Amino acid sequence: MTLNPFETVRETVETTQTVSDEVKTTTCYMCACRCGIRVHLKDNQVRYIEGNPDHPVNKGVLCAKGSAGIMQHLSPARLTKPLLRSGPRGSGQFKEIEWDEALALATDWLGSIRARDPKKLAFFTGRDQSQSLTGWWAAQFGTPNFAAHGGFCSVNMAAAGLYSIGGSFWEFGEPDWDLTRYFLMFGVAEDHDSNPIKMGLGRMKSQGKAKFVSVNPVRTGYSAIADEWVGIRPGTDGLFVLSLVHELLKSENIDWDYLTRYTNAPWLVIDAPGEPLNGLFLRDPDGNPMAWDAASGKAVNALSADITPSLVGERVLDGTRVVPSFELLARRCLDPSYAPDAVAEKCGIPAGTIRRIAAELAEAAFKSEVELDVAWTDWAGRKHDKMIGRPVSMHAMRGISAHSNGFHTCRSIHMLQVLLGSIDAPGGFRYKPPFPRMTPPHPAPAGADSKPNTPLTGMPLGFPLSPDDLIINDDGSPKRIDKAYSWEFPLAAHGMMHSVIHNAWAGDPYPVDVLFMYMANMGWNSSMNTSGTLHYLTDRHENGEYKIPKIIYSDAYYSEMVPYADLILPDTTYLERWDCISLLDRPIGSAHGPADSIRQPVVKPDRDVRPFQEVLIELGVRIGLPGLLTPEGAPKYPGGYTDYMVNHQRAPGVGPLAGWRGTSGNEHGRGESNPDQLKRYLENGCFWKMDFSPDQMYFKHANKSYLELAHKLGWIPNSNQIVMQLYSEPMQRFRLAAQGHGDRQPPDALRDRVETYFDPLPIWYQPFEEGAVNLTDFPLHALTQRPMQMYHSWGSQNAWLRQITAANRLYVPDGLADKHSLNDDDWVWIVSHHGRVKAQIKRMAGVNGETVWTWNAIGKRRGAWGLSDDAPESKKGFLLNHVISDLLPPREDGYRYSNSDPVTGQAAWYDLRVRLEKCSADEAQETEPRLDAVEERPASANRPAILSYGANLKATPSKGGNLEHREWIGNRQEYADQDTGIRPGHGNSIKTKPGSDH
């Protein structure tokens, strides 16, 4: 027998060394996933970060970003003190001031606006995670002009889901990783939904029972481990999905029972063209929608239990012609224009592939049913002894969302899932609590009633159900600075941050007095038309006044936006503050139960900075916002943000944190405030979670036990069944207004637009930029994705993450590269109708043949983020945003719409069309445009040339241990083992000595 010489030598890596003298739990903030972390501290310095194995989001998993949080916390780009601009805007010249002066100035600026005209404050926050606080603060202030960054990120996903199924992807839901048999993923880059997706894909792939199909023009990240990659042409996903629906309808591979039980497919739609009720649901005298009951042969309340509703069949009832909404959907999708052969060329997917995928979906859904021996009771009290599911699941993200047809594409994806009967069924897409919400969603946005010194009557962001809910003036013009909830963008449920700076500069619809922003790098990668945005920020009237008179900005870092503000309120890093990851905001629970969490300060700031949430509460008190004061006028939360986290109640018994409520601390979800609540969170690792009982796990939209629980916890207003809205009546109400019905109608110039895009059923149309430019001049799509080790612009200041990606290339498909005689590292101009940017290329096989792409937010402006003047990020890294226009080409009367989805106002980043021009030899070497370096703030002038970390944290060798330095492998230093004499190298085990630096 031949012995394996390596067999007896086992790896004996010590994985639980003591590297610290204290460990504190908190929540990661290196991306939006909000994993639980354990921060190891030594001498009150951050020593090491690991995943918290008990945490419901990541179960101990930590990604590259998360572990590199140390260098984010130690970034030389950290702001150190409040700053007041001393030179012209954009120069970066500031003087340091004390907090008292900064807060007094902000109070003066903001207080006078509130007393005069609150809407003259535009308050917009970026990728922060405290939107329930910031939105509430804006409502207390009385300005409708509030939003966070969803308008340029994912509102198409959120709105389409909420108006269709009462939930959506990512934070709102997840695939049933363990039971799914077919997983279709659309347009997801690696940074969004990072650890949860990775863990889920890992589980699914290791079980080997499911097929994973990735639909994405670019084969990176998750696509690389897909069983099949479908390299679709950008902006055609909706067409592809409607073609799949066409095939499924044709072959009658749809779940009839699911449709009749859980959706509005049987609801009767009035067919009376030209009449004011055309396209609305037939309703009984109590307002209930009606369906045709085949058993009784009459129209009945569609919400009744135990009816036998018809899904097809046109009828005339009391002189009114009606048809079930399903029949309208089927007529639409069975149209030959959606047949695979008709769409194949546009989508860049062979017709045979579309047909095969449709057949595979049908096979997985209807031939691989999942049965769980779990009894449950539906909303009507009917008992079911099993849970039977269709194991097809889907996930989509920004690649779908960031197109001008994204809302309808997202609706199409949900329609596909509903037709297969897989929403919240075993093996399908599952809601994460507090979803599903009622659909159509509620409440409507507040803000039409903005008055001096008066809070709004509700929250500024909401969900219009008809033109009556728009935030507009009597003449139909927008009341919000970003034009959200106007006739241009009626369902802009996340606001339109990408339009604010342009509109404030143009005074369209009116000028503002103060622009107040938090964590939004609008001076660079968060803006379309970056150079134009910098112009808007610095442009002056003839009298020398800035067109945007005052800008307050809060951030922890010296980003490209900082030099363009007048007053800087420096924030802490995420390891230095309390935070609240709330069910009122962006949930972190799973399909198995709700969860929320906190951040605690694990170290004290060593600079004169304050957590933004604390500052916001302090400013609110100084301005006199009623919600922050007692009736006697004293601060209501004298303990600051932690006081607010524990004692604020949004509704009776419902506060920012759901865990350990009530005076005894034993109530969850709903209960009085508990003074010991934060202590209980700390004892539990900074998170709270609650598990659903097995009978509450699926069919939550129609599950009596779940619905009663959700109602009790305040997530839904009643425990009625949530009926999925394949056919959208709110959309039809807008369309009717455009057709001349009702008191509120769009201005004539917008009638066609509203009528076209407010289709009650999902549609596909060509993305706007593609229809507006000459495709011979601009034959290519250009996209951005983010690498999984970076999250937006945050990563490029991080000394560890920069070592992975410090400059981006333009990835060019091989065929196209051949056509342009391009080789790796050649320089090209990327030219759009809006501008040109210069970049180096890399050839790539796994990308759609008509598409080029790059990593986003790697290219940086010189002088920002504490980077040196010759940093690769500014010399070779480039920003595609320079060639993305914030406005569409002018319509006939010269007016230019925002480059956004016409339903939700979502920024259409991915509609970009370009051509490539090879650079001559003398043009190469550096990216362009290369803007002047911003002047550095004083504190960063002492930035070390090379950042090193941890030398002072090394353990002292114990017992005279031989810590002779050998070599580095990865990030682990290897040492000779003085006991065994084993040396690192071929065939030897590697031991990491206790206390060594690993």
Q: State the minimum distance, in angstroms, from the CB of residue 200 to ligand SF4.
A: 12
Residue closer to ligand SF4 by CB (options 63, 344) is: 63
Task: Give the Cα separation of 199 and 263 in Å (integer).
Answer: 32
Straight-line distance from the first to the last Cα atom of the chain, in angstroms, rounded to the nearest whole number = 38
Residue number, 267 or 794, with CB nearest to ligand SF4: 794
DSSP characters over 233-281: PTT-HHHHHHHHHHHHHHTT-S-HHHHHHHBSTTBEEE--TTSTTTTSB
Q: Which residue is nearest to ligand SF4 (CB)?
A: 66
| Closest approach of ligand SF4 to the CB of residue 196, in Å | 8
The least CB distance from residue 68 to ligand SF4, in Å, is 8
E strands along 369-513, which residues?
370-372, 376-377, 383-384, 387-389, 392-396, 429-431
Which residue's CB is nearer to ligand SF4, number 199 or number 339? 199
Token digits of residue 646 = 């524990």
Query: Cβ of residue 586: shortest distance to ligand SF4, in angstroms?
Result: 12
Q: With respect to ligand SF4, which residue has the nearer C-beta, 30 or 822?
A: 30
* Binding region for ligand SF4 (CB under 6 A): 28, 30-31, 33-35, 58, 62-63, 65-66, 194-195
CA distance 546 to 50: 47
User: Which lies closer to ligand SF4 via its Cβ, residue 28 or residue 226?
Assistant: 28
What is the closest distance, in whole angstroms, from the C-beta atom of residue 193 to ligand SF4 in the complex? 8
Task: Please identify, using beta-carbon distances, which residue of 35 and 416 lies nearer to ligand SF4.
Answer: 35
CB 620 within 8 Å of CB 133: no
How far is it, in rounded angstroms, from Cα 782 to Cα 800?
A: 29
| Smaller CB separation from ligand SF4, 333 or 519 | 519
Nearer to ligand SF4, 192 or 390 (CB): 192
Please state, in angstroms and rounded to a whole number, the distance separating the CA atoms of residues 675 and 643: 9
Q: Supply the minimum distance, in Å, between the C-beta of residue 29 and ligand SF4.
A: 7
| Distance in angstroms (rounded) separating the CA atoms of residues 907 and 887 | 10
Pick the closer one to ligand SF4 by CB: 62 or 210: 62
Distance of closest approach, residue 575 Cβ to ligand SF4, in angstroms: 12
- Residue 580 Cβ, how far from ligand SF4 at the closest point, in Å? 16
Q: 213 by DSSP, 3-state: which?
A: strand
Token pair 């969170």 is found at 681
CB of 77 to ligand SF4, least distance (A): 18
C-alpha 165/C-alpha 435 separation (Å) is 10
Contact assessment for residue 212 and residue 201, using Cβ atoms and an 8 Å cutoff: yes
Which of 440, 93, 115, 456 lies closest to 267, judged by CA? 440
Smaller CB separation from ligand SF4, 450 or 789: 789
In whole angstroms, the minimum distance from the beta carbon of 789 to ligand SF4 comes to 9
- Cis amide bond preceding 350, omega within 30: no
- Please identify, using beta-carbon distances, which residue of 30 and 361 lies nearer to ligand SF4: 30
Written as one string, the DSSP assignment of 511-551 is --SEEEEES--TTTTTSSSHHHHHHHHH-B-TTS-BSS-EE
Residue 636 or 786: the one with the smaller Cβ distance to ligand SF4 is 786
Residue 179: CB minimum distance to ligand SF4, A: 24
CA distance 359 to 528: 40
Q: Rank residues 191 and 873 by Cβ distance to ligand SF4 and give the closer one.
A: 191
Nearest-approach distance from CB 793 to ligand SF4, in angstroms = 14
Q: Which amino acid is at 233?
A: R
Q: Is the dihedral of CA 800, 801, 804, 810 positive or negative?
A: negative
The smaller minimum CB distance to ligand SF4, of residues 69 and 859, is found at: 69
Q: How far is the CB of 914 from ligand SF4 (least distance, A)?
A: 31
Q: Tell me how far, at minimum, the Cβ of 399 lies from ligand SF4, in Å.
A: 19
Q: Closest CB to ligand SF4 among 195 and 973?
A: 195
Minimum separation from the CB atom of position 788 to ligand SF4 (A): 9
Closest separation between CB of residue 257 and ligand SF4, Å? 39
241 touches 693 (CB < 8 A): no
DSSP 8-state secondary structure symbol assigned to residue 710? H
**Pairing relationship of beta strands 36-42 and 83-85 according to DSSP bridges:** unpaired
- The answer to whether 732 and 758 have CB atoms below 8 angstroms apart is yes
**What is d(CA 914, CA 884) in angstroms, rounded to the nearest whole number?**
10
Query: For residues 35 and 883, which CB has a smaller minimum distance to ligand SF4 in the complex?
Result: 35
Q: Give the angle subtended at the CA of 103 by the CAs of 97 and 109, to the nearest 5°.
A: 110
As measured in angstroms, the least distance from the Cβ of 52 to ligand SF4 is: 10
Q: Which is nearer to ligand SF4, 28 or 839 (CB)?
A: 28
Token pair listed for 375:
């009894």
Q: Is the Cβ–Cβ distance between 47 and 954 less than 8 Å?
A: no
Centroid of chain to Cα 346: 28
Element (H, E) at 153: none
The strand ranges marked E within 281-438 are: 290-293, 298-301, 315-317, 320-324, 370-372, 376-377, 383-384, 387-389, 392-396, 429-431
Distance (Å, whole) CA 727 – CA 733: 12
Show the tokens assigned to 795.
């990563």
Instruction: Please check whether residue 876 is in contact with residue 807, taking contact to mean a CB–CB distance below 8 angstroms.
Output: yes
